[in-house]
A and B are shown apart, each in its own frame.
Chain A
C-alpha cells in the first residue's frame, strides 16, 4: 500500500526540475519563407474543407435532379392511371341505358 502511494507521489513529482524544450532555431526563417510563398501558408485542411463543401454541394444537386426526375415520372404515371380508370368508368356508363 505504501509503495503504491510512494510510486504515485513520485510520478506526480516527475516533472519537477523540468527544463524548457528548445525550439527549432530556424523557425524565424521558416515563418518568413511562408510569408514570401503565401501558397504554402494555406494548410492542407483548408483545401480539404473546400473539397468537402464542393462534394456536399454536388451531392445536393444530384439528389435534387434525381428527385425531380423521379417526381416527374411518378406524376406522369399516376396521371395515366387516372386517365385509364376514368375512361373505363365512362365506358361502363355507356353500357347503362337510362
Chain B
C-alpha cells in the first residue's frame, strides 16, 4: 500500500506527465481495475478493453483530479463508471434486438442463456457454484450488483465502497442487504427448477 506522501508525489508526477509515474500507476492498479471490471462485466475480453479505457481516462483526466479522494478510490470510480456504461450499452443493444425480433428478423437474436462465467480467481472446489451465483448477480439492479461485486469480488470494505459509489455507509449496508435477499430468492428459484 502506498503511503499518503508517496501517493501525493505520484499524483504530482502524473500531473507533470511523467511516463514513469504513469507506468507505476498502471502496474500498481491494473489487477484491481481488471478484477473489478471482470466482476461487473463477467467477460474477460470486455474487462481487458475496459481496463485500457480506464487508464486512458486516468491519463486524460489527471489534470482535473483535485485530490478530494484517494487515487485508488478515483480509479475504482472510473472503472465502475466505464463498466456500467458498457453494461447499459449492452442492455440497449438487447432491447434493440427484441424490437428487431418483432419485425421478424429473429435469426439475429441469441435466444439461449449467456455462457456461464467462471471467475479465474475462484477456488476450484467452488467453481460451479460460483458460476451459478454470478449468473444470479447479473440479474440484480446495477447499484446492488456494483456494491455486491466490490465487496465480494474486490473485497472492499463498506466504507471504501461508499467512497467509490459516492453514497453513505448505511446506503451501502442497505444495498448489500437487498442484494443478498434478491440473490437468495433467485437461487431458490434456480434450485427449485434444476435440482428437483
Chain A residues in contact with chain B, CB under 8 A? 4, 7-8, 10-12, 14-24, 27-28, 30-32, 34-35, 41, 45
Contact = CB atoms under 8 A, between A and B. Distances in A.
6 contacts: A15-B126, A18-B153, A20-B31, A22-B120, A23-B30, A31-B52
B63 to A, nearest CB: 15
Contact of B26 (A17, A19, A20, A28): A28
B129 interface: yes
Interface residues of B, number: 43
B195 A30 contact: no
A12 B122 contact: no
A11 B123 CA distance: 13
A11 B31 CA distance: 25
Contacts of A16: 123, 126
Given A11-B133, A35-B56, A4 B191 contact: yes
Given A8-B191, A14-B129, A23-B30, A31 B120 contact: no
A49 B138 CA distance: 27
B23 interface: yes
A8 B126 contact: no
Given A15-B122, A15-B153, A27 B55 contact: yes
Interface of A, secondary structure class, is helix
Interface of B: 19, 22-23, 26-27, 30-35, 38, 44, 47-48, 51-52, 55-56, 59, 89, 119-123, 126, 129-130, 132-133, 152-155, 180, 183-184, 187-188, 191-192, 195
A24 B34 contact: yes
Contact of B119 (A21, A30, A32): A21
Which one of A16, A20, A21, A27 has the greatest number of beta carbons of chain B within 10 Å? A21
A21 B121 contact: yes
Contacts of B38: 21
Given A11-B187, A28-B26, A23 B51 contact: yes
Contact of B130 (A14, A20, A35): A14
Which one of A16, A17, A27 has the greatest number of beta carbons of chain B within 10 Å? A27
Given A21-B35, A22-B120, A31-B59, A14 B133 contact: yes
A7 B187 CA distance: 9
Contacts of B55: 27-28, 31
B194 to A, nearest CB: 10
B31 A22 contact: yes
A12 B123 CA distance: 14
